[in-house]
Structure 1
Amino acid sequence: QVKTNPSDQTWSSVCEADLDLQDAQVVCRELGCGAPSVLQGALYGDVQTPRWSPEFQCGGHESALLDCRSSGSARSSCSPGKAAGLTCSGGDEFRLVGGASRCAGRLELKVLGEQRPVEGYYFFTLKTAALFCEHLNCGSAVSLQPTDVSDQSMWRINSDCVQSGSDLWSCVESWRSSGTLNLTCSDIPEANLEHI
């Protein structure tokens, strides 16, 4: 629910049709709750409060939902079962799979409940990979190896977007590709390197 007018203390539900993945990314970030994992109508019951909201048009990089552009027009209500429900992951949802250790393997992300490999041929750098190694408590990035697989849905991460200081999840988009990414981290947490 949102307060669409800060001077008004009334909370309103958002219609499911007016909230997409980019909007959900902004909401989860604003709440400090990681990435979106489930977005669907009436996920937590159909509330009886007024359901009035504009259609949000977030780019995914905004820090707050009300910073996003909106359609300007608002629906007076949603049909039953169409108030948006959102579950955030509570934290970063990524892992390395199929490698010799937990700090090596194919990089996968889970966004809106969909676990997919990361697309490996465009915009991805060792500097961006280092962020994943660090979050996995696996030290620094040692190597990136693009690998051919069957054409499938993947998540693409734009390194330029990440390096510009944007939140990781606002730099992710759905993509079809036949190239995924194997990442090897040093397996030594950075904090311990100076003691060796």
Structure 2
Amino acid sequence: MQVIVRRPHKVFLILTGILVIFYYVYTNASVINNRRERLEKENSTSPDYINEEYNVWLIFTKVYNGSPLTYKFKELLDNLMTISTVPLNFNIIVDNSSQRMAENFILKQMSKSDKNISYTFYNIISSAKLVEDIVDVMSNFFSKPGSYYNDVLFYISLGLHRIAPASQKYAILLDCDIYFKKDITLLFDQFKRF
């Protein structure tokens, strides 16, 4: 019995070799690109939200001329506009009288600063309706007669995602009595860690 051994054609071997090399190069290139992108992201000094607005949320309600909160609000605006290196977008929850006061303070601040201030007002009544169910549940655990926790303002932070526009990926809710010693950008940079 005679055994015939056929040798593959050189063309077949060459094509198979090219396919193996192509597959190897293609898969390694994908792996290398993925690693490169991951390293670039990890080593990036600019946050993902660099093209986003720097959204600062404030609650400014139940104020009157001469109330301590008005002075704190003015000082915070002045502080942020002096120390911030990025354009801030203020989102302020207000009632009708507080809105007029806040807008006056903002316009005065803009007149004495070379920076523009972007701001949007949100009515407290409309905002409270958006978080009504949260307030109902949480107030059972926290509220007592005459307590600070009876006020819907205490629960706004829990439902801020319902009040804020969907386009806002990052936002920081501040009390008006805060004073920054360094640029607020450092606070926004914390979003890079997650």
Specify the TM-score bucket, using the shorter chain as the normaliser: under 0.3
Between Structure 1 and Structure 2, the one with more helix by share is 2
TM-score between both structures, scaled by the size of structure 1: 0.22
TM-score between both structures, scaled by the size of structure 2: 0.22
Between Structure 1 and Structure 2, the one with more strand by share is 1
The structure having more radius of gyration, on CA atoms, is 2
Structure possessing the higher relative contact order (Cα contacts under 8 Å, 6 or more residues apart): 2
